[in-house]
Amino acid sequence: MSELLQVGMPAAQVGGLTAEESALTLGDYQGRWLVLYFYPKAHTSGCTREGQAFDALLDQFASLDAAVVGVSTDKPATLAKFRDKHDFRFTLLSDTEKEISTAFGTLKEHGKSSNRITYLIDPDGLIQAVWPKVRVDGHAEKVLARLRELVGEQEE
């Protein structure tokens, strides 16, 4: 099992397939903020609530030039159904090969899914915040608040 990336470290430049089965790498987000959140399994109550919370705040993230990407080890078709069922407007990324989860140290001990962990990555590709033990309720709001702090610090 690999270690979590820490604040100040460069984000791993890995990728996978989106729910639409398009290839995507994290480098595609260079030049803007990225909220990269890992969740265990689509269609479960906690993962649904977490996705809904990020989606509800998506316009506020976008106003700060931040994209939101949810990553799980589910297949693209499963992610497409999950997205469509809940009308998620952000990207869901499939990590069936577990390359992304391994690179970010989020893979559970059994190796089948990710722990619920969120990274905030700056426009230069550096980790600016890590939430290693996410509690779903209020989490998206905490990530948005931290992003606002960081963007505010940069504008001074």
Catalytic residues: 47
Residue (of 70, 77, 53) closest to 116 by Cα position: 70
| Packing angle, helices 45-56 and 139-155, rounded to 10 | 30
Round to whole Å and give the CA distance between 52 and 140: 9
Could you say which DSSP state residue 138 is in?
T
Cβ proximity of 123 and 46 under 8 Å: no
